Amino acid sequence: MNHPLQAHFYDIFHAHSINHTQAEKCWHALATHYNEPHRHYHNLTHIQAMIGYFQQYHNEQLSVEFFQNTFADFLENGLIDNALIYRVTQLIMLTEGHQLTDDSDNDAKLFLDMDLSILGQPWAVYQHYANHIRKEYARVAQADYQHGRKSVLAKF
> Is residue 73 domain-shared with residue 105, that is, in the same domain?
no
Same domain, yes or no: 108 and 129: no
Query: Are residue 51 and residue 113 in the same domain, yes or no?
Result: no
Do 7 and 62 fall within a single domain?
yes
Domain endpoint, select from 80, 103, 129: 80
What's the pLDDT at 78? 53
Torsion angle defined by CA atoms of residues 93, 96, 101 and 107, in that order, rounded to the nearest 10 degrees: 50
Is there a contact between 119 and 127 (Cβ–Cβ < 8 Å)? no
Q: How far is residue 29's CA from residue 154's CA, in Å, rounded to a whole number?
A: 36
Give how many domains the chain has, as a whole number: 3
Question: What is the model's pTM?
Answer: 0.67
Same domain membership, residue 70 and residue 13: yes
Question: In the prediction, which pLDDT does 21 show?
Answer: 83
49 and 1, same structural domain?
Answer: yes
10-residue stretch averages of pLDDT, the chain, 156 residues long: 80 73 81 88 85 70 54 53 70 84 84 88 95 94 95 86
Residue-level pLDDT at 79 = 47
Q: What one-character-per-residue DSSP string does 59-102 give?
A: -HHHHHHHHHHHHHHHHHHSS--HHHHHHHHHHHHHHHHT---T
Same domain, 66 and 90: no
The per-residue pLDDT for 48 is: 83
Shared domain for 76 and 93, answered yes or no, is no
Looking at the structure, tell me whether residues 58 and 87 fall in a common domain. Answer: no
Q: Give the structural domain span for 140.
A: 121-156
Same domain, 69 and 112: no
Shared domain check, 8 and 39 = yes
